[in-house]
Amino acid sequence: MAVDTRTDRRPSSYAGILWHSTVGKKTAMAVSGIVMLLYLVAHMLGNLKIFFGAAEFDGYAHWLRTIGEPFLHHEWFLWIARVVLLAAVVVHAVAAYQLSRRDIAARPQKYVHKKPRASYATRTMRWGGIILGLFIVWHILDLTTLTVNPRAEAGHPYANVVATFSTWYGNVIYIVAMLALGLHIRHGFWSAAQTLGANRPGRDRTLKAIANLLALVLTLGFIAVPVSVMTGVVS
């Protein structure tokens, strides 16, 4: 009698079953997106401290490294936040990729006529995600490790921000990425609301307005820094 040596690869845990389902992946994208959105709001508010001068901005950067002391060691809170943010980014990106592949696999046959183009929202989310992924790498190398910032000096965050936005390419990279971020938030917030069941016939207009407002405020808030350096408001 032949013995079936095949193993059942289906997940046995509830978390595994949830992750392997389409609904689970969409939920993971929505929750991780909210985590990143909360970080972006806090990050933007911190960036705007640059308008209060070098002492204020540098003091804020130092405070981030001392949160939780003496219970937490120096920079522990910052590293915990980085790990949580990295996990959110990875979950968001992996879920988005797998959902995209699943969508393609669901319609393997070519269309008889010309294949309809992806919607504007779909193209925006896809390319916006790629742009933002590349920007995150650049941003870390620019203002965290100071690898690609030729005039950077460790321990002087205000001066380093001014240095990076004193170059044309630093401004172009940052502004393009922030425009992509605004579009990503505008469509992503609405998608997350739908996934989590927050949308209702009477709420749709309000949720869309919130999505537009969040995208606008965050985009303008982030872009205000490089524009101010370019125009000499911040120097």
pLDDT digit string, tens, across residues 24-65: 888 999 999 999 999 999 999 999 999 999 999 999 999 999
Residue that wins the pLDDT comparison between 125 and 183: 183
211 Cβ neighbours under 8 A, 6+ residues apart: 185, 186, 187, 189, 190, 193
Contact in structure between 228 and 62 (CB atoms under 8 Å): no
Contact 211, 186 (CB under 8 A): yes
Q: Percent of the chain, pLDDT > 70? A: 87
Q: What is the DSSP letter of 65?
A: T
For the entire predicted model, the pTM comes to 0.85
CB 222 within 8 A of CB 176: no
